[in-house]
Amino acid sequence: MDIVLTGSVAFDYLMTFPGYFRDHILPDKLDKISLSFLVDSYRKQRGGIAPNIAYSLALLGERPRIMATVGEDFEEYRARLESQGVDTSMMKVIPGTITASFFCNTDRANNQIASFYPGAMGYAAQLSFRQWEGKRPDIVVISPNDPQAMKQYVVECRELGIPYIYDPSQQIVRLTSDELRAGIEGAEAMFVNDYEFGLVQKMTRLSAQDLSQILQFMVVTCGKEGSIVYTRGNEFNIPVVPPDLITDPTGVGDAYRGGFLTGYNHKLDLDTCGQMGTLAATYCLECEGTQGHCYTPAEFILRFRKHFDDRGQLDRLHQN
Ligand SMILES: Nc1ncnc2c1ncn2[C@@H]1O[C@H](COP(=O)(O)OP(=O)(O)OP(=O)(O)O)[C@@H](O)[C@H]1O
Ligand SMILES: [Mg+2]
């Protein structure tokens, strides 16, 4: 299966403040906030939803393609993704721009103050499936991106008959009810976390049951409570794989999608896909960053079989 991921591509600039933001916010001066925090650690990380998902797919031996717009500062990131097995030929540099950037300052209570600058991501709607040359993708994933681009990819995939999986997560709030509904109605499947699941139901006025009839399947992740894979006739509750240690929770949702989609690419049973997602998420949780974890397909299978019975299906991962 040829899978194309669309979604944000970003650098994350992460800082930590060795105090509490709350000690510096003056309630009687809220109309004149002027704060600057001296931070004691700084890290620049490769991130963005599309590469995060692609990263787990590539670890498991897939070669996903990413379609996205990036800035002039992207070349080193591109080389890195290519060396990991991600096809970046559809990632277009927009001259004069920088790659989307996420700036986040975290205090000792884990409170965060963040800003996201879209940069080159703001041009994502310039890319189109209509201009697609060569073999058409078997499946597209539409993940959080420039809102205009997300709407456009939905329309294009529907008109061109390209199957897609809808992953609107944090951009749900940027879509109208009609846009969200159109995205869901045209999709094969949807990924959301439990909070987003509530938002989707409220905005579209569709119940969980309605949604599971419209879609071929739907995955709802519930943090440490695990995840649920809904199909038209079934519901699979997938428990988590306990992490050896929790180092950094960022990117777990994306890693889950990467693991799940690998199984989906190999046409494995959907409950097995969910179990692969769960394990891929646990690996991510155990390391710093969204692409800091590492394993071979053989290591993954070995660990998987300590928790789940794949009825031999994971042997197909070796046939790449
Ligand atoms: N504490 C945990 N222990 C084990 N597994 C976890 C834990 N938290 C999350 N996971 C795994 O990761 C999956 C996705 O987590 P979650 O539902 O928090 O996604 P999310 O809210 O989209 O996260 P994010 O968008 O921040 O990456 C869960 O379904 C579960 O399999
Ligand atoms: Mg998420």
Give the chain's mean pLDDT.
96
pTM, full prediction: 0.95
Q: Give me the mean pLDDT over the 291-313 stretch.
A: 97
Instruction: Examine the residue annotation and report whether 254 is marked as an active-site residue of this protein.
Output: yes
Query: What is the pLDDT confidence band of residue 110, given thresholds at 50, 70 and 90?
Result: confident
pLDDT at 106: 94
24 pairs with which residues across the strands?
none
Give yes or no for residue 135 having a pLDDT over 90.
Answer: no
3-state secondary structure (DSSP) of residue 104 = strand
Ligand 1 pocket test, pick from 172, 238, 247, 252 with the greatest ligand atom count within 8 Å of Cβ, gives 252
Q: Is 226 in the pocket of ligand 1 (CB under 6 A)?
A: yes
Return the pLDDT at 225.
98
Using a pLDDT cut of 90, give the percent of the chain over it.
Answer: 95
pLDDT of 318 > 90? The answer is no
Average pLDDT over residues 72-93: 97
Average pLDDT over residues 131-160: 93
pLDDT digits (tens, 9 = 90+) for 260-269: 999 999 999 9
Identify the pLDDT of residue 199: 96
The answer on pLDDT for 65 being more than 80 is yes
Residue 296 has a pLDDT of: 96
Strands 164-166 and 189-193: parallel
Which residue's CA lies nearest to atom 28 of ligand 1? 223
Highest mean pLDDT among 28-32, 69-73, 172-176: 69-73
Residue 273, Cα to own-chain centre: how many angstroms? Answer: 16
Looking at the CA of 245, name the nearest ligand: 1
Give the distance from CA 295 to its chain's centroid.
19
pLDDT of residue 131: 81
pLDDT at 60: 97
Residues lining ion ligand 2 (Cβ < 5 A) are 169, 253
Closest C-alpha residue for ligand 1 atom 18: 223
The Cα–Cα gap between 296 and 7 comes to 25
Q: What is d(CA 222, CA 229) in angstroms, rounded to the nearest whole number? A: 11
Q: Does the pLDDT value for residue 1 go beyond 90?
A: no
Return d(Cα 258, Cα 253) in angstroms, integer.
9
Q: What digits encode the pLDDT tens for the residues 177-213?
A: 999 999 999 999 999 999 999 999 999 999 999 999 9
Query: What distance in Å separates the CA atoms of residue 66 and residue 69, rounded to the nearest whole number?
Result: 10
Closest CA to 259 of 5, 7, 57, 64: 57
Count the neighbouring beta carbons within 10 Å of the beta carbon of residue 195.
Answer: 14
CB of residue 202 inside a 6 A radius of ligand 1: no
| The amino acid at 158 | R
- Calculate the CA 300 to chain-centre distance: 20
pLDDT at 320 over 70: no
- Which of 171, 232, 180 minimizes the C-alpha distance to 205? 180
Share of the chain above pLDDT 70, in %: 99
Please give the pLDDT value at position 70. Answer: 98
How many other CB atoms sit within 10 Å of the CB of residue 23?
9
